[in-house]
Amino acid sequence: MTIKIAIESPTEAELDAIHRVLSQTYWSPGVPREVVVRSFANSCVAMARDEAGALAGFARLVTDKATFAWLADVIVLPAYGGKGLARAMVAALRAHPELQGLRRWLLATKDAHGVYAPLGFEPIAAPERYMEIKLAAPYGRASS
């Protein structure tokens, strides 16, 4: 099975599928479709599709394309799992010409540290410098 990764916006049909998946994740349970649409419209996105053009996965990057990037919403659909696709999508984002020279890339993950470490991600050197505002249930269901 051949998978093609492209840095481009998802189609409307893909946004429906992306919303279905994201609304079930631990980090955005119940997220409204309009929030997903807006977040993808304002992000750099790696789309993975199989040889028939079917969605295989996606990775969203929030960035100013000058200094900073936040890697978010990295998802591989179950039928395509276990083949290194998440790592390949992140590597495609890291290699993109518009994203070179950024001084900081960040992400948060509960259980996929092993996916990102080979790409250079490591624990934050000075976590005491970071602060957050976190709403417990922005879409009606608590995230973790």
The domain that holds 11 is classified in CATH as 3.40.630.30
Residue 144 domain flag: no
Contact 93, 5 (CB under 8 A): no
Kindly report, residue by residue over 60-78, the tens digit of the pLDDT.
999 999 999 999 999 999 9
pLDDT of residue 137: 82
Tokens 């070179």 -> residue: 100
Kindly report, residue by residue over 18-30, the tens digit of the pLDDT.
999 999 999 999 9
* Rounded-to-5 percentages of helix, strand, coil across the chain: 35, 25, 45
Q: Which domain holds residue 41?
A: 3-129
Kindly report, residue by residue over 77-104, the tens digit of the pLDDT.
999 999 999 999 999 999 999 999 999 9
**Amino acid present at 134:** K
Residue 36 domain flag: yes
CA distance 37 to 50: 22
Residue 140 domain flag: no
What's the pTM value of the predicted model, to 2 decimals?
0.92
In this prediction, residue 1 has a pLDDT band, given cuts at 50, 70 and 90, of: confident
In this prediction, residue 117 has a pLDDT band, given cuts at 50, 70 and 90, of: very high
Q: Which of 4, 5, 70, 10 is nearest to 36 (CA)?
A: 10
Domain count, the chain: 1
